[in-house]
Structure 1
């Protein structure tokens, strides 16, 4: 099957102070996030001049991928400009009939996978006779993803004679984590995939012991989310006598604001207050291997290249025009009645 383009589909982020509040309202619309939580997160963005690094990082990664694939690459976001609806309209105007879609998330789960399907559905509904859009698969266990993080951990840990390795990913409600279908079909996909990616990286660096923790929760306090929180865990490690901690943001492909605030600011500052050594591994999208990873995913469709993966988990997530890859897969969490 032939393809005319690649759509790089991401989360989006503000690129100036006036963008911050509208962006956050887009992100949290319909999720019941209290206004005071928006106020708090808004200040995180303003700490960095109201600019998230994510769009610039995506543009740099796109430029690297364009050197490796024989397709034009278009950039669209869920929550901020360039909005995916506008990008798909431009693709149609340019004569694109069928395109691959690379979502900038390695994992399953609602926010990490199915919501990108919904982005595709929404964009195609907004554009009459929109191009056919085929979303690429999840890649949390791709060898290049694992190698990139492993080398980043080695670099971060270079100044420590000993350290505790801690993997972190974005927390989600427990109900959302359980909405991925039965375990025998890869259910509980998000937390299990994060744990598997962490195991693969830990094995690569020779870490016999490590922890998997979570960050960036934002929902109503009465709803249980994946725990422990990374800052709470740093405090617990100090109580257990750990002197140095290396944090690997295994759940993220780029150093966007939730990495540079939650880890480089909050977790690092707390470690310093406790007298602990702290280092954070880099995320992969500045690594040339990340562009090669994307090119390999594209080649699976363009030329039937073999699927490279390091786990037995299903290579799920590949969808056509936003249709979920399996019934009940990665459904949104059911919200409690109020």
Structure 2
């Protein structure tokens, strides 16, 4: 189960930020090896304070393990041919890092593994970065002899869409029935630098498809917009930013908003601090009533979706179909990262 991760304790924040800013797939920087530690050191006190404000660390590891263990139990029933199943967590920037998980896979003698991204929508800067790191570990033999396949995107899977839609419906019940249909739904996703968008990254399209699928499931009950959060640094990023959208809606006289995390599978700093403490506070100061739809966390509908996605993947790969989606094998038209090409070929051939 691949994800960016987050510091479980406040003390881990600096290491997390250093790893994050050192990743050119996520945040391309000039002189990255020099600048990344400097930026991380400067930002650490502010981000430590944010983690303190949400309870002392990120819950993403706890939720990912919960989701993985529950999914593995369901898989034993859904696809007994490959049972018993075991979920491993491989985070990109926090413990357990991919290198640690690689050692665990080798120690356990794993022979068949599925790299299952926990980003529903694919981006070279998120799923792509995690797969690049897994490829680097795999080609050196750190994980032993494993046959690999990849679940690289699933942002329109019916189970995922249903889980998100149910949480939106619960949030809407917090508004008076007479004005409920006037509530604006703001789907918020982590933004991308425009340099990544402009090279042909598919993330924007795929997040948009997720939003469209959720709104179709909701019967287009409310007006909505897709907005973007978590911009870092002075370069141009995909907009409009979530905070600016809230201010704009207030200026237009809108009084009721539901914030919906559409690209996150569990709570972490972007939901618990950025959405809950920053944007909700700003909206209320502007005279708006705002509620956030819950993250997927321990949703039984979502966990069932994870199991269904994996079971279908195992059936397909067992039937001799390709080890990845056709879409994953296509590099961005503007890609100049040779590692991406090698990684895609490696996974297409089962990690060999």
Pairwise TM-score range, normalised by the shorter structure: 0.7 to 0.9
Distance 2:59 2:143 in 1: 33
**Correspondence 1:291-302 to 2 at 5 A:** 291-302=303-314
Counterpart of 1:132 (choices 126, 129, 147) is 147
Counterpart of 2:60 (choices 31, 54, 66) is 54
Counterpart of 1:147 (choices 162, 167, 177) is 162
Q: Which moved more, 1:204-213 or 1:120-129?
A: 120-129
Matched, 1:229 2:260: no
Distance 1:317 1:148 in 2: 27
Matched, 1:68 2:74: yes
Distance 1:128 1:157 in 2: 46
Matched, 1:326 2:346: no
1:18 is aligned to 11
1:5 is aligned to none
Counterpart of 1:156 (choices 171, 174, 177) is 171
Matched, 1:9 2:23: no
Distance 1:292 1:329 in 2: 35
Distance 1:271 1:98 in 2: 48
- In the TM superposition, residue 228 of structure 1 has moved relative to its aligned partner by 1.2
Conserved? CA contact 2:58–2:268, under 8 Å: yes
Conserved? CA contact 2:58–2:269, under 8 Å: yes
Corresponding residue SS for 2:125: helix
Q: Which moved more, 1:56-65 or 1:238-247?
A: 56-65
1:165 is aligned to 185
Conserved? CA contact 2:54–2:272, under 8 Å: no
TM-score in terms of structure 2 length? 0.80
Distance 1:78 1:109 in 2: 14
Instruction: Name the structure where helix makes up a greater proportion of residues.
Output: 2
Corresponding residue SS for 1:286: coil
Conserved? CA contact 1:88–1:131, under 8 Å: no
Counterpart of 1:249 (choices 261, 276, 279) is 261
Distance 1:178 1:317 in 2: 28
Conserved? CA contact 1:109–1:331, under 8 Å: no
- In the TM superposition, residue 50 of structure 1 has moved relative to its aligned partner by 3.6
- In the TM superposition, residue 270 of structure 1 has moved relative to its aligned partner by 0.3
Q: Alpha carbons of 1:332 and 1:13: their partners in 2 closer, same or farther (altered >3 Å)?
A: farther
Distance 1:278 1:284 in 2: 19
Distance 1:244 1:48 in 2: 25
- In the TM superposition, residue 271 of structure 1 has moved relative to its aligned partner by 0.9
Matched, 1:195 2:208: yes
- In the TM superposition, residue 13 of structure 1 has moved relative to its aligned partner by 1.4
Matched, 1:263 2:275: yes
Please give the root-mean-square deviation of Cα atoms over the aligned residues, in Å: 2.5
Conserved? CA contact 1:88–1:127, under 8 Å: yes
- Name the structure, 1 or 2, with higher relative contact order (CA <8 Å, separation 6+): 1
Gaps of 5+ in 1: 1-7, 181-187, 306-315, 334-338
**Correspondence 1:23-102 to 2 at 5 A:** 23-29=16-22, 31=27, 32=29, 34-35=39-40, 36-70=42-76, 71-102=85-116
Conserved? CA contact 1:16–1:49, under 8 Å: no
**Correspondence 1:264-279 to 2 at 5 A:** 264-279=276-291
- In the TM superposition, residue 130 of structure 1 has moved relative to its aligned partner by 4.3
Q: Alpha carbons of 1:190 and 1:265: their partners in 2 closer, same or farther (altered >3 Å)?
A: same
Deviations 1:78-121 (A, max 9, x none): 11211222212221221111211211101122123211211211
TM-score in terms of structure 1 length? 0.83
Conserved? CA contact 1:153–1:246, under 8 Å: yes
Deviations 1:175-218 (A, max 9, x none): 212323xxxxxxx5111111121111122223352111000111
Q: Alpha carbons of 1:201 and 1:330: their partners in 2 closer, same or farther (altered >3 Å)?
A: farther
Distance 1:98 1:200 in 2: 33
